A and B are shown apart, each in its own frame.
Chain A
Amino acid sequence: DAGVIQSPRHEVTEMGQEVTLRCKPISGHNSLFWYRQTMMRGLELLIYFNNNVPIDDSGMPEDRFSAKMPNASFSTLKIQPSEPRDSAVYFCASTWGYRAGALYNEQFFGPGTRLTVL
């Protein structure tokens, strides 16, 4: 398996532009998570989906951020309009989701998208 795939790996854009980050989870995984990582705030959960349905979006910073998961193999995180304070590394992670008898769920992370907003 190729693991979690994210694109693009690097994105440099100007303030006010729309940014779309993409994620392909591991095949068979039912839960998908979007995180943002900065030196100041560490790894923050933005939103997570279970079976393509958003479960918790309380970490989405504001209305400029939106996320979709139209099917089990694809998700997007969109920022419109982007601002310099959005500069960070954005990670997507996936897990198996609920499995009877399992005590925990290992999260498998993608390589991240490094976003720079000028």
Chain B
Amino acid sequence: QKEVEQDPGPLSVPEGAIVSLNCTYSNSAFQYFMWYRQYSRKGPELLMYTYSSGNKEDGRFTAQVDKSSKYISLFIRDSQPSDSATYLCAQTSYDKVIFGPGTSLSVIP
């Protein structure tokens, strides 16, 4: 069993839709959670970071962590074609990061 699991997709939505991306994790020792965004043929870039259970909002993006069910979510409001990318959730213990396999998202104009 992988430590961090995601549905790989691909997920295709129309422009303006609300997108929900989800992960589950198994190792509770890693207390910090991140979402990275990876455009085609580029390296991943940090999108959001969160620690505690609950929501964290940054513009059109909301990260949600439910530690009781070991569930991580990323919501994208008013999705744009520029959001088309692969989204990787991750756990971190400061130095080491465990990545999920990523979900491929396409936002169709």
Interface residues, chain A, with chain B CB atoms under 8 Å away: 4, 31, 33, 41-43, 45, 48, 50, 55-56, 91, 93, 95, 97-98, 102-107, 109-112
Contacts and interface: CB of A to CB of B under 8 A. Distances in A.
A42 B99 contact: yes
18 contacts: A4-B43, A31-B95, A42-B100, A42-B102, A43-B88, A45-B96, A45-B97, A91-B43, A91-B44, A102-B94, A104-B32, A104-B34, A104-B49, A104-B51, A104-B92, A104-B94, A111-B41, A112-B42
B43 A109 contact: yes
Nearest to B49: A104
Q: Which 4 A-B pairs have CB atoms at the shortest separation, nearest pair first? A: A109-B43, A42-B101, A43-B99, A106-B46
Contacts of B100: 42
B45 interface: yes
Interface residues of B, number: 21
Contacts, number: 57
Interface string B68-109: 000000000000000000001000101111111110000000
A48 B94 contact: no
Contact of A56 (B43, B46, B49, B96): B96
A4 to B, nearest CB: 8
